[in-house]
Structure 1
Amino acid sequence: MSTPGKTGLRGPIHGTRDAKRVASGSAVGAVIESYDFIGYGTAAALYFGAVFFPSEDPLVGTLLSFATLGVGFIARPLGGIIGGHLGDRVGRKPVLVTSLIVMGLATFIIGVLPTYQSVGILAPILLVVVRVVQGLAFGAEWGGAILMTYEHAPWKRKGLFTGTVQAGFPIGLLLANLVFLISVHLPGDLAWRVPFLVSLVLVIVGLVIRSKVPESPVFEEVKTSGQTVKSPVVEVIRDDWRNIVRGIFLRVAETAGYAISVTYMISYINDHELASTDQTLTAICIASALGIFATTGWGALTDIVGRRPIYIWVTLFAAAFGIPMFLAANTGSFVLIIATITIAYIVCQNALAGAQGAWFPELFQANTRSSGASLAYQISAMVSGLTPFATSLLYMWLGWLGPALLFVVYALLGFGAALVTRETWTRADREFVNRKIAELGHSTSAESSKHPEPHPSSPNHDDALN
């Protein structure tokens, strides 16, 4: 039997009565945030090169467009630091609501920005500024949404519940591309403006839902017991920097891999006329629709087999898939393009995202969890944001083999990180929780687990909470 992990589970063993509502509210917010952020990636691939960075060479325009995409990713770690600090100091819920408002306003503003043709160099400058604001908001979003859900969820189903939140991202991807698929037929600039403008409606809906979710019970207990720390970011970097570094490399395999297999692939297929814009967007819509169920399913699978095995096997698969992925796309076969993008998304991305939802929070202590998980998650975004730009340069040097090899490298980095990162949901942990549930008579009431026996993984058994 393996030795239980260091970090203990906290909160009601059966979860709170609000666990499902919190997961739904967090997922809805994730849908909106990803719609806004991913919508920008689609627009950058299809429109922004010509609209904001006109050039005689279309590749130059694409490079500059992807550079602004990267600016948002570079801003995300700062958003993660701000959101993580506030999440550990004042609560998870305020971060959720504020990040959603900021993201919504920034996205709406993109929809009304003047183009290069109308105001010249001011247009790309304004685009970069708004993109930075988007990055700050998105950086703050993930930690609050995941931790709220994780800390409300039942002990033995944390993978499933956090996987539900992570599934908000393929839903956002689906909505964004469906809107672009429809708006592509609109005249002139409306083709790219409309998707950003309609996001305001989604934001209003999301705010109504998120305003009704209760604060995390784990944070409330940490606050009541005086366990909050003055500078959680400083403390987690000082005491737990190794897990932050591991988390960064784990994330790079997923998010930077996505930047190649989806974001860059859209541009690659479009520039080389391997498929029409409609066909490319259709392929993305099919992949993201399947990804909704795949992400949740992968998260649930981690509750059965653990977090680490999923990562190890999927990153190995991704490393083997990098070159065949481009070979299939190069055929120009619509069926193969759909299959390639779908496999890349529902396996190489969704599986890793599904595992991260529970694994990342479990790597850190409750009073610095928001800061630690957010830093690990968002610092990797700098690599991801620059990846489409880097792949464009690699293509100029090595052709399609350059991006393919970079995808393989990212997968191997994730594989190596998984090997040196501890399992937080071992067989011993799962057996312990099953015993406790059996002892409690399989009660579904959160009150029945008000004072559970301390989890064997706890660094201090007195830290097990109600």
Structure 2
Amino acid sequence: MSTSVPTPRRSALGSKDRVKTAVAAAFGTSVENYDFIAYGTASALYFGAVFFPESDRLVGTLLSFATLAVGFVMRPLGGAVGGYFADKHGRKPVLVAAMTVMGAATFLIGVLPTYGQVGVLAPILLVALRMIQGLAFGAEWGGAITMAYEHAPWHRRGMFAAIPQAGNPLGIALASGVFAWSSSFDGSWQWRIPFLFSAVMVIVALIVRSRLTESPEFQEARATGSTEKNPFLATLSEDWRGILRVIALRVVESFAYYSTATYLLSYLTDRHPDLRSVALGAITAASILAIAVTFLAGALTDRIGRRPLYIAGCTAAILFAFPMYLLTNTARPALVVTVFIIGIGLIHACLTGTQGSLLTEQFRTATRTSGASLGYQLAAAIGGFAPLLAAALVGVFGWPGAALLYLGAAVIGLVGILVTKETWGRHERERVLALVAEEHRARTASGTPTGEVLPSTSR
């Protein structure tokens, strides 16, 4: 006689580990972003001279940003591989593996020999490690977001999906803060210390992530046999429109950050070296502000929907494209700080806070990580060229070239959100709130804690 295995039942109130999972995902995301952003900051401030010393200043900067872009090119591959395994075998193993690989690559960058020590081998090793970083980072995002989203209460998914997104500015703030601190050291320690410091953060993050429980939504899909044999191919054949929407929505956010925190930092410090510490401090302050704004933006989407907030973010980016350079060109510290606060702390944070739920909701459970990761990382591969393109355009047209690049990305994002249907409209909110209230009453009556299966007499 066969024994039937009960199918896991998801709770509209979320799993019992919903808060722990979201916080752990955010902690891991902050470490991943610290590692990835550390490279961007070092590219803007140090790598042009350390790894390409025989070039003139402009060429050295372009080559440094080119190695930065290599990591972004690898991210779609990492997203495809990570998404495939997350949708087929589970979200948790991918998160742990991505963290391990990213941490190892970042630490090794911190001990690399320079061009002056080993010649052309130095930039070759740098590019190789940057490619590994890109693979790991590409695999990271989709798993972290889907874990937080799928553990969350159904009526608070915007807020919970924004928690790991808030790990992005936290990692950025940590990276900028450590670089500001290490700038007081002598020689190569100025850029080596931030990379070496990541080893401690990675160990802590691995301990935290290893204790997570698997996504209840994925467990249900696996138990009911509704997972895909090949999630990657299923995504390409069935959800390609969703991938295109994600790319358009993500491009504006990616350009908004890298045009500001990476290229604008380089642009400013090349012309006014004495403002380097001011700029780094401004990025740190803006990133700390962005942690709160990202979370609040995600929470707000649960009340008003995803589209209105994203439309507002894209519109703000369009209006800010030229003023950001006009203000920076004054070289006044207060105005420089204002530029980074607006660009990173408000505009970029508004977009990232909305993305967690908005991009995830473009796909069903069986292909969710694959579709969201692939679209997100393809757009990141494009956005990774923002500093390189901005530097090239400024070399030809002056600062208006960089402003037009930022403006163009913002327009793409606005068009993308205008053609994307609302995933959390009024009727959907009302339906889910009714389900949440019904389950809450049933659990109160039966004494069943949130996250556990209700008695069989209950819905």
User: TM-score w.r.t. structure 2 length?
Assistant: 0.94
In the TM superposition, what is the alpha-carbon distance from 1:381 to its structure 2 partner? 1.2
| Deviations, residues 63-99 of structure 1 (Å, cap 9, x unaligned) | 1000000000000000000000000111000000000
What is the distance in 2 between the residues matched to 1:200 and 1:126?
19
Give 1:170's aligned residue: 169
| Deviations, residues 301-345 of structure 1 (Å, cap 9, x unaligned) | 111111111111210111011000110111111111111111011
Q: State the AA in 1 paired with 2:398.
A: G
Give 1:380's aligned residue: 379
In the TM superposition, what is the alpha-carbon distance from 1:226 to its structure 2 partner? 1.1
What is the distance in 2 between the residues matched to 1:269 and 1:55?
23
Q: Percent identity?
A: 49
Give 2:139's aligned residue: 140
In the TM superposition, what is the alpha-carbon distance from 1:447 to its structure 2 partner? 5.1
What is the distance in 2 between the residues matched to 1:275 and 1:422?
47
What is the distance in 2 between the residues matched to 1:335 and 1:234?
51
Q: Which stretches in structure 1 are left out of the alignment for 5+ residues?
A: 1-9, 453-465
Give 1:439's aligned residue: 438
What is the distance in 2 between the residues matched to 1:260 and 1:402?
12
In the TM superposition, what is the alpha-carbon distance from 1:386 to its structure 2 partner? 1.1
Cα contact 2:295–2:353 (8 A) shared by 1: yes
What is the distance in 2 between the residues matched to 1:127 and 1:451?
57
In the TM superposition, what is the alpha-carbon distance from 1:274 to its structure 2 partner? 6.7
Q: State the AA in 2 paired with 1:254.
A: E
Give 2:3's aligned residue: none
SS at match of 2:384: helix
Q: Which moved more, 1:441-450 or 1:258-267?
A: 441-450
What is the distance in 1 between the residues matched to 2:320 and 2:451?
48
In the TM superposition, what is the alpha-carbon distance from 1:11 to its structure 2 partner? 3.2
Give 1:196's aligned residue: 195
Q: State the AA in 1 paired with 2:227.
A: T
Aligned residues: 444
Q: 1:447 to 1:267 in 2, by over 3 A?
A: closer
Q: 1:232 to 1:313 in 2, by over 3 A?
A: same
SS at match of 2:144: helix
In the TM superposition, what is the alpha-carbon distance from 1:432 to its structure 2 partner? 1.2
What is the distance in 2 between the residues matched to 1:193 and 1:417?
40
Q: 1:67 to 1:251 in 2, by over 3 A?
A: same
| Deviations, residues 200-224 of structure 1 (Å, cap 9, x unaligned) | 0000000000000100001111111
What is the distance in 2 between the residues matched to 1:315 and 1:153?
27
Q: 1:343 to 1:275 in 2, by over 3 A?
A: farther
| Deviations, residues 24-53 of structure 1 (Å, cap 9, x unaligned) | 110010010000000100000000000001
Q: State the AA in 2 paired with 1:446.
A: T
In the TM superposition, what is the alpha-carbon distance from 1:256 to its structure 2 partner? 1.6
What is the distance in 1 between the residues matched to 2:167 and 2:240?
29
Give 1:318's aligned residue: 317
What is the distance in 1 between the residues matched to 2:451 and 2:384?
45
What is the distance in 2 between the residues matched to 1:439 and 1:49?
60
Cα contact 1:251–1:377 (8 A) shared by 2: yes
| Deviations, residues 89-128 of structure 1 (Å, cap 9, x unaligned) | 1100000000000000000000000100000000000000
Give 1:6's aligned residue: none
Give 1:27's aligned residue: 26
Give 2:247's aligned residue: 248
Give 2:80's aligned residue: 81
Give 1:185's aligned residue: 184
In the TM superposition, what is the alpha-carbon distance from 1:366 to its structure 2 partner? 0.5
SS at match of 2:321: helix
Give 2:293's aligned residue: 294
SS at match of 1:363: coil
What is the distance in 2 between the residues matched to 1:235 and 1:79?
17
1:70 matched to 2:69? The reply is yes
CA-based RMSD of the aligned residues comes to 1.5
Cα contact 1:275–1:334 (8 A) shared by 2: no
1:160 matched to 2:159? The reply is yes
SS at match of 2:296: helix
What is the distance in 2 between the residues matched to 1:139 and 1:332?
36
Q: State the AA in 1 paired with 2:31.
A: I
What is the distance in 2 between the residues matched to 1:433 and 1:143?
24
SS at match of 1:440: helix
What is the distance in 2 between the residues matched to 1:440 and 1:128?
53
| Deviations, residues 160-182 of structure 1 (Å, cap 9, x unaligned) | 11111100011101111111111
Q: State the AA in 1 paired with 2:450.
A: A
Give 1:463's aligned residue: none
| Deviations, residues 137-196 of structure 1 (Å, cap 9, x unaligned) | 000000110001100000111111111110001110111111111111111101100100
User: TM-score w.r.t. structure 1 length?
Assistant: 0.93
In the TM superposition, what is the alpha-carbon distance from 1:434 to its structure 2 partner? 1.9
In the TM superposition, what is the alpha-carbon distance from 1:348 to its structure 2 partner? 2.0
Give 1:281's aligned residue: 280
Q: 1:225 to 1:439 in 2, by over 3 A?
A: closer
Cα contact 1:243–1:421 (8 A) shared by 2: no
Give 1:110's aligned residue: 109
SS at match of 2:322: helix
In the TM superposition, what is the alpha-carbon distance from 1:448 to its structure 2 partner? 7.5
What is the distance in 2 between the residues matched to 1:450 and 1:400?
61
Give 2:358's aligned residue: 359
| Deviations, residues 201-253 of structure 1 (Å, cap 9, x unaligned) | 00000000000010000111111111111111111111110110010010000
In the TM superposition, what is the alpha-carbon distance from 1:346 to its structure 2 partner? 2.2
Q: State the AA in 1 paired with 2:19.
A: K
In the TM superposition, what is the alpha-carbon distance from 1:275 to its structure 2 partner? 4.8
What is the distance in 1 between the residues matched to 2:160 and 2:115?
44
Q: Which moved more, 1:261-270 or 1:125-134?
A: 261-270
